[in-house]
Structure 1
Amino acid sequence: MRTFLALELPENIKDILADLIEGAQNYCKQEIKWISRPNLHITLQFIGKTYPEDIKEIAAYTAQEFQKIGELEMHSPRLQIIPNRNPRLIWVSLQCENKQIFKISKRIKRKLEQLGYELDKKPFKLHITLGRVKKRLPKKIIDFLLTKDIKFSKFMVPELVLYRSYLKPTGAVYEKLVQIPKE
C-alpha cells in the first residue's frame, strides 16, 4: 500500500482554499489537475509503498514525535507556482514559528529510513498543494493565478494523519489509517 504522513487542516481553511480552487477552475480547468477539498493537507512525509506490518511502528513513533512539539500555528499564506521556468505545482506556502516541525520531519524521515524505506532527499517544505500542472501554462493563466490573494488568519494544526492513497483515473483517494490528535 502507498502511504504518507500529513498535517490535517481545519475545516474553515479547507473552505477558503476550496473556494479559491473553484474560482480558478473556471479559468483554467484543462491545464491543471486541482486537488479536491477533502484531500487538502500539508504533507509531512511521503512514504510510498508501505508494508502493513510497519504501520503500527510508524504510527507509534510518529505519535511520540508529534506530541513532543508544542502548538503548530500556521500563518502567512502565499500562492506560488513552482518551479518558475516550467511550472508543475501550484501551492500555498506557509510559515510556522515553531521550528520543531522541521526537526520532527527529519527525525521521522530517519526512522523510516532505518525501517528500510527509500525516501525523497529533498528537505521538508511547509506547503499545501492546490494543483498539479498537466500541460504548459500560458502566461495569462500564470498572471491570473498570481493575482489571487489568499486571506486567512493564523490556524492551529489539529492532528497528524497517516494516510493510505489509492490512485484512480479520477485522481487520488485518501483513506485515514491512523489519526493522531494534538494534545
Structure 2
Amino acid sequence: MTRTFIALEMNEAAQRHLEGVIHRVARGLPSVRWVDPAGIHLTLAFLGELTDEQLTEATEAAGIAARKVCSFSYNLSRLGVFGPAKQPRVIWMGINEPSGTLSLLHRVLNRELEQRGFAVDKRPFSPHLTLARVKVPLTSEEQGNLQSILTGKQHGIVSTEIYPVSSVYVMKSELSRMGAQYTCLQEWKLGDVL
C-alpha cells in the first residue's frame, strides 16, 4: 500500500518566500508546529493508502488531467486559518490564480479520479499551502499575535511575485516521528501528450 496524493510542488523561489514567512511569523507563535518549507505543496487530491492497481489508476487520472490543462501562474495571497481564529487547527498561505486554470485542473482531476472509482472531496476547492498545524491551544499572547497578523496588511508575508506551474505530481507520503517524507512517483507536464 502506498499513501498517495496528487499535488503541485512549489519552486525554489516560492519555498524561499514561505521559509521567510514562517521564520517571521513563528517568533510570535512559539508553540505552533511549523512545516518544513521544502515539503510544502498544494494538494489537489489526497487519496490515502492505495494498492499497486489503484496507484496505476490514480497516476493515469493525473496524467490525463494534466494533458487537458495548460500551464499557469499564481501568487501568494494572504495568511489564513482553518478552525476558530483564536484556536486554529491549521495556518495556511492562500493562492491567487485569477485565470481559473487551477480550479479547472482540480475539477478535471476529480472527474478523472471519480471515473476510476476514487472518492473525491466534495467540499469547495480552497487552494492553500499548509504552513503550520496547531496541536496545542495558543496562549492569549499568541492569540493576539496571530490576530494582528491576520487582520493587518501582511507586509512581507504576501508576495506579488508570480510563480509558474507546469507540472502535476503524483506523490508518496511516508509518515515518521520526524514528520512526513514525500517522494515524487510521477511528474506530468501540463498540456503534454501522454
Displacement of 1:124 in angstroms is 1.7
Q: Where do residues 5-154 of structure 1 align in structure 2 (5 Å cutoff)?
A: 5-30=6-31, 32-75=32-75, 77-85=77-85, 86-137=87-138, 138=140, 139-146=143-150, 147=152, 148=154, 149-154=157-162
The TM-score normalised by the length of structure 1 is 0.87
Cα distance in 1, alignment partners of residues 134 and 158 from structure 2: 20
**Partners of 1:81 and 1:90 within 8 A in 2:** yes
Cα distance in 2, alignment partners of residues 120 and 96 from structure 1: 21
CA RMSD of the aligned region, Å?
A: 2.1
Higher mean C-alpha deviation, range 138-147 or range 49-58: 138-147
Higher mean C-alpha deviation, range 110-119 or range 124-133: 110-119
Q: 1:177 aligns with which of 172, 182, 185?
A: 185
Cα distance in 1, alignment partners of residues 184 and 169 from structure 2: 7
Identity across matched positions, percent: 26
Query: Could you list the runs of 5+ residues in structure 2 that have no partner in the other structure?
Result: none
Higher mean C-alpha deviation, range 157-166 or range 84-93: 84-93
Displacement of 1:3 in angstroms is 0.7
Cα distance in 2, alignment partners of residues 93 and 58 from structure 1: 26
Higher mean C-alpha deviation, range 109-118 or range 165-174: 109-118
Cα distance in 2, alignment partners of residues 119 and 65 from structure 1: 14
Deviation string for 1:132-181 (max 9, x for gaps)?
A: 11122232231354344322411111321111111112211111111123
CA gap 1:131/1:94 in 2 versus in 1, 3 angstroms? same
Aligned length: 182
Cα distance in 2, alignment partners of residues 167 and 119 from structure 1: 22
Displacement of 1:76 in angstroms is 5.0
Query: Could you list the runs of 5+ residues in structure 1 that have no partner in the other structure?
Result: none
Deviation string for 1:6-60 (max 9, x for gaps)?
A: 1111210110101111233333232x22110221111111111212122233223
